Structure 1
Amino acid sequence: MSNQSSVILTDKDLAKRRRHRNFMEDLSAFWFLLPIIACFVVLLFVPLMQTLYFSFTDFDGLSFDVNMVGFKNYQKVFSDSSILQGLGFTLAYAVLTTLLVTVIAIPLAVQLNKRFLGRNFARSLFFFLSVPSAAVLGMIWKFIFSPLKSGLINSILSAVGLDPIPWLSNSRLAQFCVIFVAVWAQIGWHATLYLAFLQSIPSDLYEQAQVDGASPMQQFVHITLPQLVPGIVTSTFLLMSGGLKVYDLPFTLTKGGPGYATNTVSQAIITRGIGMNEYGIASALSVLFAIAMLIVTFAQLGISQAIAKRFE
């Protein structure tokens, strides 16, 4: 009996020691995560709560006399044509840049993965396109797409006897220019991302497919694309999230014009809040935009997971 009781006590002691060890490991992990948690609270959670509060007030950023106005700021957001136009362009920009960059970057990565003379130079050249900041690219392309005769493209057209084109002074052409520059600037970086995934695909798969008589298109559809699914998920997530919060490129290229044709949600938030001292409306727009970003992000993750399971 004494032996049995000592065994039971020993088991209890081991269980207590195990729980104590787990608790100490959790405590150590908490201390490591504490700086990150503090940064999250100070830099994200507190400003988010302040924005939510200001969205129900008439705060102008200057006066301390703040009055509650309920949902009036949200009503103004949905009734303001300039904000709605900026929302429409932001969605169009995010969707089109994601689709176009993906469609172009994957075949480009496939070509850059092949052996040819000057392959390393070509890889570096395409990657260099994404090195300058979007603001710098916007100022450079603003000169290229200038609607004046002094613009680079229009000067070439004038030299061959053609009329200048109002690139940035026409609403549709300005939207085209912004999306074109965004796609041009991001293709190289995302092609490099896909190239990294292509180099991890075992060459045995292609060799076996060639033995079985598969054509290059069949190899691309049945081998390359399924293996690129993780890269596509990462690339499209970055493109979509970056496109929804874009500000620098449209602002430096067109200032949001002509009119509000290339205005974005981020630009509308900054203009209303800082430029016009309408912090209440800007806060309401920020809250709605944050909710929309969460919905789009979770929807995209769900779609990506479904596609990944489809190719497993």
Structure 2
Amino acid sequence: MAIQTSDLATRARAGTASAGARPGRHRLREQLTTQAFLVPIAVVLVVLFLVPLAESVYYSFTDYSGSSPTRHLVGLRNYRQIFTDPSVLTGLGFTLLYAVATTLVVTVLAIPLAVILNRRFPGRSLVRAAFFFPAVPSMAILGLVWTFVLSPLSSGVINSVLGSLFGVGPVPWLSDNTLAKVSVIVVGVWAQTGWHAVLYLAYLQSVPRDYYEAATIDGATPRQQFFRITLPLLAPAMTVSQFLLLINGLRVYDLPFTLTGGGPGYDTYTITQVLVQRGIAEGDYGLGAALGVIFLIAVAAVLSLQLSVTRRLERRFR
């Protein structure tokens, strides 16, 4: 009888150990399955990002021209040339100006526009579609259209209106240094405000109306409701919107290229235009690679700063 009892206890302990081992094996199998799904992503990351990045870093220290298989190490010559080339420095400056200006202005305009579009009024769907429409065509097409609208000649659309209504002579919208920069930024803001307003509108529609009803009962004014309820709840949307705006602003190429061609002079040159012109069109791949490396570092620094600031604002609004 004692032997049978001992045997039953041994079997019970073995069954308990086996039952405890099964969940462990099951979790291990799930982890391996999950990691297996990450393998294609890792392969794509290595092949399409890390390998080209390593090659770019290597080419940035050479005189590689693309047409000849031979290349020689030249040290930091390409980097020194970048920081002494006026076209590169001007392109970098205007790129940062465009990215920061469009991000700030679009944010300031898109949030109140989203609040207005969130209200009920006749033709609301049509108005939403009208504001979203500029985001449908490509920036290159919009640049070509606005080239005719902002033409510095008297035949331009805006100059024709100014001349017929106010007798004002042709305004050099695209031929004056300052006006050309302002024109590119204004067109960029016009093209992106509607899309980002729809982004904020999607977040607004998920906000319960109870918050505003309770605030109204407590005597809060519309202005107080906007700054105490709407803005804090839109903080995550602001992070996403500003991140996208900065990325698009830093890599902008098609709008300034079709609108002003980078002129007058180099005043509306962008860093991507310099990279394409100098690195690809002129066949100086070593200089283009060095410019790409510097541009990547600058973009990473700007986006890291933006994410840090917006996350700090999110914590402050909570």
Q: Work out which of the residue numbers 36, 57, 61 in structure 1 matches 2:66.
A: 61
SS in 1 for 2:200: helix
Match of 1:156 in 2: 161
Aligned residue number for residue 245 of structure 2: 239
- Give the root-mean-square deviation of aligned CA atoms: 1.6
Q: Which range moved further: 224-233 or 2-11?
A: 2-11
**Is 1:141 aligned to residue 146 of structure 2?**
yes
The CA distance in 2 between the partners of 1:17 and 1:301, in whole Å, is 43
2:272 is aligned with 1:266: yes
Separation (CA, whole Å) in 1 of partners of 2:19 and 2:52: 47
Give the corresponding residue for 2:258. 252
142-151 or 55-64: which moved more? 142-151
Partner of 2:135: helix, strand, or coil?
coil
Aligned with residue 82 of structure 1, among 77, 80, 87: 87
Aligned to 2:110, which of 105, 113, 132? 105
Change (3 A) 1:281 1:107: same
Report the Cα distance in structure 1 between the residues aligned to 2:81 and 2:20, rounded to whole angstroms. Answer: 61
Q: How does 1:113-128 map to 2 (within 5 A)?
A: 113-128=118-133
* C-alpha separation in 1, matches of 2:153 and 2:131: 29
1:96 is matched with 101
Gaps of 5+ in 1: none
* Partner SS, residue 79 of structure 1: coil
1:55-97 CA-to-partner distances (Å, cap 9, x unmatched) read 0000011111100011111111111111011111011101100
Answering whether residue 198 of structure 2 is matched by residue 192 of structure 1, we say yes
Aligned length: 312
Corresponding letter in the other structure for 1:263 = Y
Match among 19, 36, 40 for residue 35 of structure 1: 40
Question: Aligned AA for 2:257?
Answer: F
Does 290-299 or 278-287 show the bigger shift?
Answer: 290-299
Q: Which amino acid aligns with 1:258?
A: P
Find the aligned partners of 2:161 and 2:51 in 1 and give their Cα distance.
53
The residue that corresponds to 1:207 in the other structure is 213
User: Counterparts of 1:262 and 1:95 in 2: how far apart (Å)?
Assistant: 15
CA distance in 1, matches of 2:55, 2:159: 48
Tell me which amino acid in the other structure corresponds to 1:188.
Answer: G
TM-score, reference length from structure 2: 0.93
Question: CA separation in 2, counterparts of 1:16 and 1:208?
Answer: 54
Letter in 2 for 1:134: M
Amino acid at match of 1:81: P
Between 1:222-231 and 1:35-44, the stretch displaced more is 35-44
User: Counterpart in 2 of 1:305?
Assistant: 311
Q: Which string of whole-angstrom CA distances, capped at 9 and with x for unpartnered residues, describes residues 40-67 of structure 1?
A: 2222121111111100000011111100
* Cα distance in 1 for residues equivalent to 2:306 and 2:16: 49
* 1:229 aligns to 2:230 (yes or no): no
Q: C-alpha distance in 2, partners of 1:286/1:35?
A: 26
Q: Which of these two proteins has the greater Rg computed from alpha carbons?
A: 2
CA distance in 1, matches of 2:16, 2:72: 64
d(CA) in 2 for partners of 1:58, 1:278: 7
The residue aligned with 2:285 is 279
Which amino acid counterpart does residue 140 of structure 1 have in structure 2? V
Distance 1:143 1:217 in 2: 40
Deviation at 1:3, TM superposition (A): 5.8
TM-score, with structure 1 as normaliser: 0.95
Partners of 1:52 and 1:10 in 2: how far apart? 59
